[in-house]
Structures are given as structure tokens and as C-alpha cells.
Amino acid sequence: MSQTNPIGFEKKEVTHVIEKLNTLLANYQLYYQNLRALHWNIKGDNFFELHAKFEEFYNDSQLKIDEIAERILTLGATPLHTFSDYLAAAKINEGKDISNDILAVKLVKESLQTLLALERDVIAEAGKVDDEGTIDLMTPFVSEQEKTIWMLNAWLNGR
Ligand SMILES: [Fe+2]
């Protein structure tokens, strides 16, 4: 007898979607903590601009983290929720002792590039099982972050 979850997927068919969502969740948590640290530790001429921008980014990522975790629950699984699990799944570099503006913006840009790749992985897996709900959640993340990466590159201006 096939086992279906409450939204009609066979448990086995969404296993890979859930794994990819959990990897994304873990990396978002690293991104979030990196942003908190950059918000606190940034120094120099661009302090006021970047201090506020990093706060905007971490507030946005906090909402996305919650959406990803609750999608995992909707699919019938448990979201990763410990620092040790997050670090085990980390593809984003931890930023430690970064106070320089260019290094800070580069870390945010590289982190977003990693998240973008992970979101495309989720979309690819979800596409295999017609999981439109997950695709629908991911698509705006992708287009938003593509635009943010353009802006960060414009700020960096080749640096
Ligand atoms: Fe603050």
C-alpha cells in the first residue's frame, strides 16, 4: 500500500525535495548569522549604509527561513533545527571578524550565489515530482536574489 503525506505526495517521492530544502534551510541560517555579524561589526565610511542594508537583508532572510521550514513541515518532514546540523550542511562560509566594507559585501554576494544554486537544486527536484507548491515558493526567491546580486556587483563595481 502506498503511503501518502497529507497533501497527496507519496512519502518516498518527496524525500529528495525535503533533503534539498533542509540543505537550503541550513545554509540560510548561516547566511542569517553572517548578516547579523556584518551588521554589528562593519566599520568605516559606509557604516550607516551597510549597517542598515545588512539589517534589511537579515530581516528578509528570517522570513524566508520560516517559509522554508514550514514547507518542509507541510511536506510531512521535520526541518533541521540545531546549529550542529546547520554546520554539517554548510556550503556558505562563516564570516568571522569581518569589518571591511568590500569584504562584507563580497561575503553577502558569494553567500547569495550559493543560496541561488541551492534554490535551483530545490526547483529541479520539485519539478521531477510536480511539486508546484515548492517551486512556487522558490521562484520569487530566485528572481529577487538574482536582482540583489546585480546590485551588490554594482556597489562593488569590479572590486
Ligand atoms: Fe541592530
And the C-alpha cell for 16?
Answer: 529528495
Q: How far, in Å, is the centroid of ligand 1 from the Cα of 34?
A: 13
In a domain, 80, yes or no: yes
Per-residue confidence (pLDDT) for residue 2, from 0 to 100: 66
What distance in angstroms lies between residue 37's CA and the mean position of ligand 1's atoms?
10
User: Which residues does 75 contact at the CB level (< 8 Å), separation at least 6?
Assistant: 5, 7, 9, 14, 17, 18, 21, 131, 134
Residue range(s) defining the domain that contains residue 22 = 11-156
- Whether 115 is covered by a domain: the verdict is yes
In a domain, 4, yes or no: no
Measure 60 CA to ligand 1 centroid, in angstroms.
14
In a domain, 3, yes or no: no
In a domain, 61, yes or no: yes
What confidence score (pLDDT) does residue 6 get? 87
Please give the DSSP secondary-structure letter assigned to residue 93.
Answer: P
CA angle 97, 154, 112 (to 5 degrees): 55
Mean pLDDT of 29-44: 98
Region 112-140: mean pLDDT is 98
Output the pLDDT for position 3. Answer: 79
Q: How far is the CA of 43 from the centre of ligand 1 (A)?
A: 14
Asked whether residue 2 is domain-assigned, the answer is: no
With a pLDDT cut of 90, the percent of the chain lying above it is 92
- Write the pLDDT tens digit of every residue in 68-124: 999 999 999 999 999 999 999 999 999 999 999 999 999 999 999 999 999 999 999
Q: What is the pLDDT of residues 13-28, one digit of tens each?
A: 999 999 999 999 999 9
Rounded to the nearest angstrom, the distance between the alpha carbon of 39 and the centre of ligand 1 is 7
How many domains is the chain built from? 1
Residue 6 located in a structural domain:
no
Ligand 1 centroid to 32 CA: how many Å?
A: 13
Q: Give 3 Cα–ligand 1 centroid separation in angstroms.
A: 47
**How high is the mean pLDDT of the chain?**
96
Side-chain-side CA neighbours of 27 within 13 Å: the count stands at 22
Residues near 90 by beta carbon (within 8 Å), at least 6 away in sequence: 26, 27, 30
CATH number where 17 lies:
1.20.1260.10
Taking the model in full, what pTM does it have? 0.95
User: Is the residue at 140 inside a domain?
Assistant: yes
